[in-house]
Amino acid sequence: MPTFTINGKELEFKPGQTIIEAARDHGIEIPHFCWHPKLSVSGNCRMCLVEVEKIPKLVIACSTIVSEGMVVQTESDKAKAARDAVMEFILINHPLDCPICDEAGECKLQDYAYRYENGESRFTEEKNHKPKHVQLGPHVMFDAERCISCSRCIRFCDEIAKSPQLTFVQRGDRVTITTFPGEKLDNPYSMNVIDICPVGALTSKDFRFKARVWDMSATKSVCIGCSRGCNIDIWVRNNEILRLTPRYNEDVNSYWMCDYGRLNTFKHVNAKDRVDSPQLRREGQLVKVGWDEAFAEAASRIKSFAKDEIAFIGSAYATCEDNYLLAKFAGSVIGSGHIDFMRHTDPEFGDDLLKKNDVTPNTRGAELVGVSPSKSGLNLEGIFKAIKEGKIKALYVIEDDLIASNPELENIFARLDLLIVHATNYNRITDLADIVFPAATYAEKNGTFVNFDGMVQRIKPAVTTVDTDRALDGLSLSRLDKFGTKFDKWASGIKRDAKSTWKILVALSGVLGHKLKFNMAEEVFVDMSSSIDAFKGLDYDDVGESGARIKTKDVEQNVNV
């Protein structure tokens, strides 16, 4: 490969790379505002000016192509002076409102002002004032005074979202961004402009003024809005999720996520309608009871039915570990082959960027771990038909409000003698249930999902439950990272008494006389990898933070869902 020299180091580069790209590949940061690896080059901030040997003027690293033998200096006196001048120019009219700015603590301008600016301004006149708290669209607020005209937001809408809605107007120090006449910033990916804005000009209407970055813990996880499984960070304060932000993974979602996933996949975790303890139906009402009483009642009632009278329904919202234990519970503990799960698709939801028509995170995973009928067992439609005919008398459902998806099931389920449900929130199926177990949400447990094209991805607890606290008892600090969050960042708010579905099934199996020796989600995954070809040889370390692709030839069957 060809080589060039930067700051005295000879490094290789790929033909066609710019200076900033080649430097980045070797861990050398050249300061920048307007450049973004997934957007076109605009070259308008001038923060990335560097000195190149044999070129009399400084050049911008974001658009200058590297050539064989090129010698670049990013820390020469000339380059430093240019950076200082650019920072002074940008800060001339910038307001000094860091203490009240939502971007404080994660602001590129703030960081660069500390690292590259001399701390003084020669500009003593009144700053130019511009409009504040302007609502550009349903989700994005704009503070024009903070904008540095980097054009990232404009280029994102044009090039990534394919929805040109923003533009520059005016000139000189009066330049600002606005929407085109009659337009709003309301494309399905509009909130990504908040993430890529290098200052506090664009902020989230939903998150605005709720917390500072240093007040929250950030846990790496996966979005559950569709089968894409966008990589995300879950931001938590006082045991409450305040926001989700996209996490870079070029094999899944690059730098982006959709507004639906960002706003609609976490609020049920914070909701007041959470199922927070086991419940039994007595005299027509659900009554809160202890776990032991709930397990004893469930075991006793399950034993009263023949194995062919009991059916099980898994969930594409539940993890691979949860579904795997349900399949094992149905087959090995109960001896029933009647098991399946409901697919949830929305033909209007998907698009050509990230969103998929399959609006669940783990359809592929549920299929792979065996949530499907045995040769003599009934599939989903067969189960519903058998309930109407009185052949299936007991139904065990995990983490899916089937009635919300198909209201006709309400009358069918009313014919059951026993309905056991694992639920995170009260819903239409819990209204009919005889026994309700509180299930942990995706933000409260360890586990894995498999996305539409076969990428196995980890989720970790960002919010604590009573069960999480028990699991932490006696655990060394060095092992706490398995739970996804720094120990000193664990929230102190309300903790619900909910458990992972696989844990509930392990405990119930024990009451029924079958010991399943799993104490951690990782142990369930190891058992999966030893018995299911698609997961062969994988463990949580292999999956890591970026995921691991499963080893099957038929992954493509779900690509278009």
Amino acid at 36: H
CB 11 within 8 A of CB 59: no
Instruction: Dig out the tokens for 198 from the structure.
Output: 């290098």
Q: Average pLDDT for residues 294-311, to the nearest whole number?
A: 98
Q: Average pLDDT for residues 236-245, to the nearest whole number?
A: 97
What's the start-to-end Cα distance of the chain, in Å?
Answer: 41
Confidence class for position 559, pLDDT limits 50, 70, 90:
very low
- Predicted local distance difference test score (pLDDT) of residue 183: 94
- Predicted local distance difference test score (pLDDT) of residue 494: 66
CB 466 within 8 A of CB 496: yes
**Predicted confidence (pLDDT) at residue 561 exceeds the cutoff of 80:** no
- Predicted local distance difference test score (pLDDT) of residue 362: 98
| Residue 417 CB coordination number (10 Å) | 14
The topology under which CATH files domain 3-91 is: Ubiquitin-like (UB roll) (3.10.20)
- Among 345-349, 494-498, 512-516, 556-560, name the one with the lowest average pLDDT: 556-560
How high is the mean pLDDT of the chain?
93
Q: How far apart are CA 383 and CA 389, in angstroms?
A: 10
Strand order in the sheet with 231-237: 217-222, 231-237, 240-246
Residues 6 or more apart from 348 whose CB is under 8 A from it? none
More confident residue, 120 or 541: 541
- Predicted local distance difference test score (pLDDT) of residue 283: 92
Confidence class for position 123, pLDDT limits 50, 70, 90:
confident
**Predicted confidence (pLDDT) at residue 223 exceeds the cutoff of 60:** yes
Of the candidates 314, 363, 302, the residue with the CA atom closest to the CA atom of residue 338: 314
- Kindly report whether the global pTM for this prediction surpasses the value 0.85: yes
Of the candidates 341, 236, 294, the residue with the CA atom closest to the CA atom of residue 505: 294
Q: Average pLDDT for residues 284-310, to the nearest whole number?
A: 97
Domain 279-553 sits in CATH 3.40.50.740: yes
DSSP assignment letter at 453 = T
Burial of residue 168 (CB within 10 Å: 0-12, 13-18, 19+) is middle
**Predicted confidence (pLDDT) at residue 491 exceeds the cutoff of 50:** no
Give ranges for CATH 3.40.50.740 in the chain.
279-553
DSSP assignment letter at 358 = B
- Predicted local distance difference test score (pLDDT) of residue 468: 75
Strand order in the sheet with 140-142: 134-135, 140-142, 202-204
Of the candidates 430, 448, 451, the residue with the CA atom closest to the CA atom of residue 439: 430
CA 101, chain centre distance (Å): 25
Confidence class for position 126, pLDDT limits 50, 70, 90:
confident
Give percent above pLDDT 70 in the chain. Answer: 94
- Predicted local distance difference test score (pLDDT) of residue 96: 85
DSSP assignment letter at 248 = -
Q: Average pLDDT for residues 70-74, to the nearest whole number?
A: 97
- Predicted local distance difference test score (pLDDT) of residue 557: 47
Instruction: Dig out the tokens for 76 from the structure.
Output: 């020469």
How would DSSP label each residue in 420-452? EEEESB--TTTTT-SEEEEBPPGGGS-EEEE-T
Give percent above pLDDT 90 in the chain. Answer: 88
Give ranges for CATH 3.10.20.740 in the chain.
3-91
Confidence class for position 560, pLDDT limits 50, 70, 90:
very low
Q: pLDDT tens, 139-191? A: 999 999 999 999 999 999 999 999 999 999 999 889 999 999 999 999 999 99
Pairing of strands 140-142, 202-204: antiparallel
Q: pLDDT tens, 442-480? A: 999 999 999 999 999 999 999 999 987 666 554 544 445
Q: How far apart are CA 326 and CA 306, in angstroms?
A: 18
**Predicted confidence (pLDDT) at residue 419 exceeds the cutoff of 60:** yes
Q: Average pLDDT for residues 8-25, to the nearest whole number?
A: 97
Q: How far apart are CA 303 and CA 328, in angstroms?
A: 17
**Predicted confidence (pLDDT) at residue 548 exceeds the cutoff of 90:** yes
Residue 420 bridge partners (DSSP): 396, 435
Instruction: Dig out the tokens for 180 from the structure.
Output: 């085109």
Confidence class for position 496, pLDDT limits 50, 70, 90:
confident
Phi, psi dihedrals of residue 234, rounded to the nearest 5°? -100, 120
Amino acid at 270: N
